[in-house]
Chain A
Amino acid sequence: MTTTNTVAIDIQKLARVVPRNRNIEIMLLIFAFGINAFELCQIQLSTIQILTWDLMTYWTPITVAALLLHFILRFKASDADALILPAAVLLNGLGIAEIYRLDLATLAAGGSEVFGLKQVIWTVVAIAAASAVVLFVPSHLFLRRYVYISMFIGLVLLVSPMLPFIGKTINGAHLWLAIGGLTFQPGELAKIALTVFFAGYLVTRRDSLAAVGRRFLGVQLPRARELGPILAIWAVSLLVLVGEKDLGTSLLYFGLFLVMIYVATGRAIYVVVGLGMFITSALVASRVMDYVSGRFDAWLNPFDAARYDAIGGSYQLVQGLFGMAHGSVLGTGLGGGVPQLVPLAESDFIISSLGEELGLAGIFAILAIYLLIVSRGVRIAFNHSDDFSKLLAVGLSFVIALQTFIVIGGVTRVVPLTGLTTPLLAAGGSSLLANWIIIGLLLRISNTSDSRDRISGGVQ
């Protein structure tokens, strides 16, 4: 009897040494690399009718970088989630392919402003940053020591575009820093710092925040002094709205905070009060701020001739809708449409570019991949028993979900159009960097799940 038991334990030990998640991950990665290559081939064949070695420029760097991250995971976080990395590679690769395709159209029309190579370089930098997170953050719990530093960094990043000299307005929104020749969207990195801060802060304050105050109309109100934090965050989001003129960024942080305070305290009243405050301020802004009201009008009546022709009006939004409608169910095929007709087709409107060329089927697939990443993130939250890990994982996942919703919802008229970018797909270094760091953090957190969760869901 004892002998059999020992053998059984040995097998279990052995099973843990073999990084089963990593083997699944490499298979899925190879699949993702294949899809990425296939996309590039299709683009070359349908636009320049010939395969050239150029496509290696767009395929190799992300492939090598992702493989390196995979091997780092093998040694440093062998139990990390197996699906997140391949899903992120798939989205990032698809983004590169579509940006390259738009570059070809620009060059064919005699233009010179291309984004593909920049995107490839930023991808490598971003995956390297994710690798660094996995390598040098020994455990995500270590981040708990830096809660208030995170807050400070987050706030500085968030308000920095409002500073004179280095702040820069692009396309009406004030979301950028320009230092030297480089432009950067610091708000993207701020979302990570603020998620860490919210998680750390809420863990320490959750009991008092959850404490019950007076009853009013049958609703348990929080104690008045516990409304301080929510008021502070609301003030910051208002500052962002007024100072940076972007409803989306403001909504992103505020929504993130509401979800995290809800998860921490279990008190829905915070969400109700918070949403009320936000909607009120958004409605006021839509009346008094020209830029925001323009976006609102364009959202509600995009086809109106006066709005369509106005500078900063609904032209871009309507052209994006035309593009998506053109794609219909199955799309024109990569390289087969004319997504270049939409301004900013490679960044803010990459989803309409992809909608045109991959069709509704492609959009559903893209949404499914986002949902996969988000659901793995939430699963990580479920699988941890300590509050900080739970909050951090759910915060990081939710910020991806919410940003995806605000951007794609903006392009498809669910919400007003904003200046955020589609995570992992859109051209833009800051966005790539921030989202890959989130991927790195999720991988890191998942490695220490208490239940040693595996792809099979089995618990050992």
Chain B
Amino acid sequence: MNRELKRVVFVIITMFVALLISTSTIQVLTADSLAQDPRNVRSVYDSYKTQRGSILVDGNPIATSEKSDDSFHYLRAYSSQMYSAITGFFSFYQGATGLESKMNSYLTGKNSTQFFEQVNALLSGNPVTGASIELTIDPVVQKAAWDAMGNLRGAVVAIDPKTGNILAMVSKPGFDANKLAVHNGIISSANYAQLLADKSSPLVNKAISGSLYAPGSVFKLVVASAAFESGQYTPESTLPNPLKFKLPGTNTYVQNSGEGKCGGKATVSIADALRFSCNVPFAQLGIKLGQDAIRAQAEKYGFGQAIEIPLRSTASTYPTGMDEAQTGLSSFGQFDDRVTPLQIAMISAAIANNGTLMKPNLIENVVSANLSSLYAPSPSIFGKPISEATARLVRDMMINAVAHGVSSNGQIPGISVAGKTGTAQNGKGEPYTLWFTGFAPANDPKVAVAVVIEDGGGMGQAGRGNTLAAPIARKVMQAVLRK
């Protein structure tokens, strides 16, 4: 029987080894991802035990933990609604969103990079102090964007095209995160319910998430890129220029904005079509290129990817399985094209940076309490959506659109600006979505920007991207170029 007993011992050891592996997996290998699960409230409980790290912009805290004399020990305080979309909120009762949630393990000192501090804290009995997070945001640019948006609903994203650093990210309206951080559960819950019920959805970061927007004419940049990348088109290539274009297989006609003819000749060049933002030639161009070529180009720009900056953006989408009519509509940013302002800013940034798209990033540095740097992402390449030649061609068209075209309100005296407006329709009778995207200075870009305004800027179907969105983008670019 002893032979059998030895085998039983082997079975027992196998069972225990399985338990050693399963517990190690849970408690070490996947511990960080389990800790970041939004359903895990332990990190929130925990974070009240230690002093949570601050979120800093240019050295000044925009979210910080102050001593409080109640049982929570610390109260989270936010400096301004201007940053609410970035920081999110941190509430004992409502959990956490934004960077407060995404960077929670650093902020609470629980990240695995802080292991030695944790051991030290365990031995000394002093609690771990959370790490602070310095953002790439430029406070002057952020304030310019926030002020320029005024009471309009929408979002602004400004990126340094050479590094991918996000200089401004504004979502309007903002909210007062202090109202959710309060330590009184009844008040906090009432405030939360009020923000949730607000139809302008202040809790949503419209720059990267929410229900996304129809891009309208700013999508023409993607179609133009695809056209030049195909090698079959140049800005001088011409397209038929009728007053109305009947979409194949339907009785629907596409018209140019303002219902006029684009330049008044029988044909129009791609450059002029972009300058005047004409729908008829772009619908025809899109159908000729085909949806697959356009989609491939869009995906190179980042469509279809949830980009982490490290806030997680919703993926922008270009539809699949369209017929020719739908492809035509999608070519000037209608039909089911859906984008985030971040995605549109990335398109401009790639064109600005000679076709190389840098990975957008919000984090400058994560610094532990003892001032060592835990995480400092260096600029990295997201991809190369277009060639340098294509970038140059699209850039020159965008310069013309601002200097001599319908995107004229993007002009800055003495500086060459590249830009493109958009005015997207949202169904019969619905207010338009207004866009401007571009970069400046066009020959040595310091900033790429995307501005979106919801609800027609309060002007129903009378608002235009050039009248409302372009001046805001101009102010943001000027704030960057002020130096």
Residues of A within 8 A of B (CB): 259, 262-264, 266, 303, 308, 318, 321-330, 333, 337-338, 341, 355, 359-360, 363-364, 367, 370-371, 374-375, 378, 381-382, 387, 390, 394, 398, 401-402, 404-405, 408-409, 412-414
A325 to B105, CA, bound (A): 13
Please judge, given known A-B contacts A324-B27, A325-B30, whether A405 and B5 are in contact too, CB under 8 Å. no
The residues of B that contact A321 with a CB separation of less than 8 Å are 26, 34
A358 to B290, CA, bound (A): 61
The residues of B that contact A262 with a CB separation of less than 8 Å are 4, 7-8
Can you give 18 A-B contacts (C-beta < 8 A)?
A262-B7, A263-B4, A303-B37, A321-B26, A322-B34, A324-B23, A325-B40, A327-B27, A329-B28, A355-B26, A359-B27, A360-B28, A371-B16, A375-B12, A378-B8, A382-B2, A387-B1, A404-B19
The residues of B that contact A381 with a CB separation of less than 8 Å are 5
The answer to whether A402 and B15 touch across the interface, beta carbons within 8 angstroms, is yes
Secondary structure of the B side of the interface? helix
Residue picked from B39, B41, B119, most chain A C-beta under 10 Å: B39
The answer to whether B41 and A341 touch across the interface, beta carbons within 8 angstroms, is yes
A263 to B45, CA, bound (A): 51
The residues of B that contact A338 with a CB separation of less than 8 Å are 42, 45
A401 to B18, CA, bound (A): 12
A37 to B2, CA, bound (A): 40
The answer to whether A378 and B42 touch across the interface, beta carbons within 8 angstroms, is no
The answer to whether A263 and B5 touch across the interface, beta carbons within 8 angstroms, is yes
The answer to whether B5 and A355 touch across the interface, beta carbons within 8 angstroms, is no
Please judge, given known A-B contacts A263-B4, A324-B23, A390-B5, whether A401 and B12 are in contact too, CB under 8 Å. yes
For chain B, the count of residues having a C-beta within 8 Å of the partner chain is: 37
- Judged by a CB distance under 8 angstroms, whether B393 is at the interface is no
A251 to B45, CA, bound (A): 38
Please judge, given known A-B contacts A262-B4, A263-B1, whether A412 and B15 are in contact too, CB under 8 Å. no
Contact of B19 among A263, A266, A318, A405 (CB under 8 A): A405
The residues of A that contact B16 with a CB separation of less than 8 Å are 367, 370-371, 401, 405
Contact of A328 among B12, B20, B31 (CB under 8 A): B31
The residues of A that contact B415 with a CB separation of less than 8 Å are none
The residues of A that contact B24 with a CB separation of less than 8 Å are 360
Residue picked from A262, A333, A387, most chain B C-beta under 10 Å: A262
Residue picked from A266, A404, A405, most chain B C-beta under 10 Å: A405
A325 to B22, CA, bound (A): 12
Please judge, given known A-B contacts A330-B119, A364-B20, A414-B19, whether A324 and B3 are in contact too, CB under 8 Å. no
The answer to whether B22 and A360 touch across the interface, beta carbons within 8 angstroms, is no
The residues of A that contact B119 with a CB separation of less than 8 Å are 330
Please judge, given known A-B contacts A263-B8, A412-B19, whether A323 and B28 are in contact too, CB under 8 Å. no
The answer to whether B22 and A412 touch across the interface, beta carbons within 8 angstroms, is yes
The answer to whether B39 and A413 touch across the interface, beta carbons within 8 angstroms, is no
Contact of B8 among A360, A364, A398, A409 (CB under 8 A): A398
B470 to chain A, nearest CB (A): 42
The answer to whether A405 and B27 touch across the interface, beta carbons within 8 angstroms, is no
The residues of B that contact A308 with a CB separation of less than 8 Å are 39
- Judged by a CB distance under 8 angstroms, whether B381 is at the interface is no
The digit string for B22-60, where 1 denotes a CB below 8 A from any CB of A, is 111111101100110101111101100000000000000
Please judge, given known A-B contacts A324-B27, A328-B28, A363-B27, whether A266 and B42 are in contact too, CB under 8 Å. no
- Judged by a CB distance under 8 angstroms, whether B196 is at the interface is no
The answer to whether B35 and A325 touch across the interface, beta carbons within 8 angstroms, is yes
Report the nearest B residue to A378, measured CB to CB.
B9
- Judged by a CB distance under 8 angstroms, whether B122 is at the interface is yes
Report the nearest B residue to A400, measured CB to CB.
B12
A263 to B35, CA, bound (A): 45
Closest 3 CB pairs of A and B: A325-B34, A412-B22, A405-B15
Report the nearest A residue to B40, measured CB to CB.
A322
A412 to B45, CA, bound (A): 23
A453 to chain B, nearest CB (A): 14
The answer to whether B12 and A378 touch across the interface, beta carbons within 8 angstroms, is yes
Contact of B15 among A323, A363, A401 (CB under 8 A): A401
B340 to chain A, nearest CB (A): 23
- Judged by a CB distance under 8 angstroms, whether B459 is at the interface is no
The residues of A that contact B5 with a CB separation of less than 8 Å are 263, 378, 381-382, 390, 394
The answer to whether B11 and A259 touch across the interface, beta carbons within 8 angstroms, is yes
Report the nearest B residue to A360, measured CB to CB.
B27
The residues of A that contact B45 with a CB separation of less than 8 Å are 338
Report the nearest B residue to A402, measured CB to CB.
B15
The residues of B that contact A404 with a CB separation of less than 8 Å are 15, 19
The answer to whether A367 and B19 touch across the interface, beta carbons within 8 angstroms, is yes
A404 to B15, CA, bound (A): 9
The answer to whether A326 and B18 touch across the interface, beta carbons within 8 angstroms, is no
The digit string for B430-473, where 1 denotes a CB below 8 A from any CB of A, is 00000000000000000000000000000000000000000000
Contact of A413 among B1, B11, B22, B118 (CB under 8 A): B22
The residues of A that contact B46 with a CB separation of less than 8 Å are 326
A363 to B22, CA, bound (A): 11
A402 to B41, CA, bound (A): 33
The answer to whether B4 and A266 touch across the interface, beta carbons within 8 angstroms, is yes
A262 to B1, CA, bound (A): 9
The answer to whether A322 and B37 touch across the interface, beta carbons within 8 angstroms, is yes
B451 to chain A, nearest CB (A): 35
Please judge, given known A-B contacts A360-B28, A367-B20, whether A394 and B8 are in contact too, CB under 8 Å. yes
